[in-house]
A and B are shown apart, each in its own frame.
Chain A
Amino acid sequence: DTAVSQTPKYLVTQMGNDKSIKCEQNLGHDTMYWYKQDSKKFLKIMFSYNNKELIINETVPNRFSPKSPDKAHLNLHINSLELGDSAVYFCASSQYGRTSGTDEQYFGPGTRLTVT
């Protein structure tokens, strides 16, 4: 019973392509997130969605667009992939969306994206 799942686990693609990473949570949480972890393991939040509304949008290129068909899914679509997009992307979810000690974020296993 995976709480937060992502597909694919690995994604290798060429520069200029458009790709999507899917995320699903079966926890009934209200908020989902996308994080990017670069080659130096630095983890940075990209987006969060609460009830289909974007509530956090950090300074990421507009080539990245989160799409949430329903509360249980938050997909990440990336247009015109660049070499610098190579990273591990983590999806996460939490019950309420405003992080507090009791509002734990549950992370997916990550998607390793390699752009060649």
Chain B
Amino acid sequence: GEDVEQSLFLSVREGDSSVINCTYTDSSSTYLYWYKQEPGAGLQLLTYIFSNMDMKQDQRLTVLLNKKDKHLSLRIADTQTGDSAIYFCAEIKGSQGNLIFGKGTKLSVKP
């Protein structure tokens, strides 16, 4: 496909794990990113993974990369209400290194 695809909404209960999925487009993308956007705020880089890695863990965050399927996922363990935000998957594309974003997944955490 031409676009980075993500499901638009995810709702979980506090304390559960959240898994946000993404399908990217360019198999030659060297880095893939997860950004977080809290309401009314700019984007904050959460984590990134280099394309020669399958998994990266950073505290409560686990990123899984399946290069064959061009599938990226972000797992948030022990999800908290403060994790409620929109999460954007992004890839580098093209010779200029453009950062191409998915449409974002809105994560709602219920107490």
Interface residues in chain A, defined as those with a beta carbon under 8 Å from any beta carbon in chain B: 4, 40-45, 55-56, 58, 90, 92, 97-101, 104-110
Contact = CB atoms under 8 A, between A and B. Distances in A.
23 contacts: A4-B42, A41-B86, A41-B103, A42-B104, A43-B88, A45-B98, A45-B100, A56-B96, A58-B98, A90-B43, A99-B92, A99-B99, A101-B30, A101-B31, A101-B48, A101-B49, A105-B45, A105-B99, A107-B42, A107-B44, A109-B41, A110-B40, A110-B41
A114 to B, nearest CB: 15
B97 A99 contact: yes
Given A99-B97, A99-B98, A110-B41, 19 more contacts: A40-B103, A41-B104, A42-B103, A42-B104, A43-B88, A55-B96, A56-B96, A92-B42, A92-B43, A100-B97, A101-B48, A101-B49, A101-B50, A104-B45, A105-B99, A107-B42, A108-B42, A110-B40, A110-B42
Contacts of B92: 99-100
Q: For the complex, would chain B's binding face be called helix, strand, loop or mixed by DSSP majority?
A: strand
Interface residues of B, number: 22
Nearest to A40: B103
B42 A90 contact: yes
Interface of B: 30-31, 40-45, 48-50, 86, 88, 92, 96-101, 103-104
B17 to A, nearest CB: 24
A100 B42 CA distance: 20
Contact of B101 (A44, A56, A110): A44
Contacts of B103: 40-42
Q: For the complex, would chain A's binding face be called helix, strand, loop or mixed by DSSP majority?
A: loop
A77 B100 CA distance: 23
